[in-house]
Homo-oligomer: A and B are copies of this chain.
Amino acid sequence: MQKHIVTLEQVAKVAGVSMKTVSRVVNNSPQVAEKTRDRVQQVIDDLNYQPNRLASSLASGRTNTVGVLVHHAVQQIFAYPFFSELLGGISKGLNENRYDILLRFMDGNMSYTELFEHRRVDGLIVTNAPIDKPEEMQGLLDIPSVFTSRIALRNNRSNVVDSDFYGAAWTVLDHLFDLGHRHIALMTGPEHLALSHLRGRAYADAHRARGLPVNDALVRANALFANPHTIRHDLETHWLQLAPRPTAFIASDDITAINLLNQLAGMGYNVPHDFSVVGFDNTMLSDLANPPLTSAAQQSFHKGYTAALTLLDVIAHEPTEPVQIDLDMELVVRQSTGRAPSS
A133 and B324 alpha carbons, distance in the complex (Å)? 43
What residues of chain B lie closer than 8 Å to A57, measured between beta carbons? Answer: 54
What residues of chain B lie closer than 8 Å to A284, measured between beta carbons? Answer: 79, 255
**A258 located at the interface, meaning its Cβ lies under 8 Å from any Cβ of chain B in the complex:** yes
- Per the 8 Å Cβ criterion, residues 268-295 of A in contact with B are 283-285, 288-290
Q: Is the CB of B102 within 8 A of A88?
A: no
Can you pick out 7 interface pairs between chain A and chain B where the beta carbons lie within 8 Å of each other? A78-B87, A83-B84, A91-B103, A91-B105, A95-B107, A102-B103, A262-B288
**Which 3 A-B pairs have CB atoms at the shortest separation, nearest pair first?**
A50-B117, A53-B118, A103-B103
Task: Produce 1/0 per residue, A89-113, CB < 8 A to B.
Answer: 0011001000011111101000000
What is the distance, in angstroms, from A144's C-beta to the closest C-beta of chain B?
Answer: 7
For this chain, the copies found in one complex come to 2
A50-B118, A289-B288 given as contacts; is B105 within 8 A of A95 (CB)? Answer: yes
What residues of chain B lie closer than 8 Å to A144, measured between beta carbons? Answer: 1
Chain B residue, CB-CB nearest to A107:
B95
**A132 located at the interface, meaning its Cβ lies under 8 Å from any Cβ of chain B in the complex:** no
Extra contacts, 7 of them, besides A54-B54, A79-B88, A101-B103 (Cβ < 8 A), are A58-B58, A68-B103, A75-B88, A78-B88, A79-B81, A83-B84, A103-B103
What is the distance, in angstroms, from A270's C-beta to the closest C-beta of chain B?
Answer: 13
What is the distance, in angstroms, from A4's C-beta to the closest C-beta of chain B?
Answer: 12
- Per the 8 Å Cβ criterion, residues 40-97 of A in contact with B are 50-55, 57-58, 63, 65, 68, 75, 78-81, 83-85, 87-88, 91-92, 95
**A236 located at the interface, meaning its Cβ lies under 8 Å from any Cβ of chain B in the complex:** no
What residues of chain B lie closer than 8 Å to A306, measured between beta carbons? Answer: none
Chain B residue, CB-CB nearest to A290:
B290
Q: Is the CB of B259 within 8 A of A288?
A: yes
Chain B residue, CB-CB nearest to A51:
B118
Chain B residue, CB-CB nearest to A68:
B103
**A191 located at the interface, meaning its Cβ lies under 8 Å from any Cβ of chain B in the complex:** no
Task: Produce 1/0 per residue, A239-267, CB < 8 A to B.
Answer: 00000000000000001001101100100
Cβ contact of A58, chosen from B54, B68, B115, cutoff 8 A:
B54
A284 and B258 alpha carbons, distance in the complex (Å)? 12
A201 and B168 alpha carbons, distance in the complex (Å)? 50
Q: Is the CB of A1 within 8 A of B318?
A: yes
**A216 located at the interface, meaning its Cβ lies under 8 Å from any Cβ of chain B in the complex:** no
**A119 located at the interface, meaning its Cβ lies under 8 Å from any Cβ of chain B in the complex:** yes
Cβ contact of A290, chosen from B63, B101, B117, B265, cutoff 8 A:
B265
Q: Is the CB of B119 within 8 A of A105?
A: no
What residues of chain B lie closer than 8 Å to A143, measured between beta carbons? Answer: 1
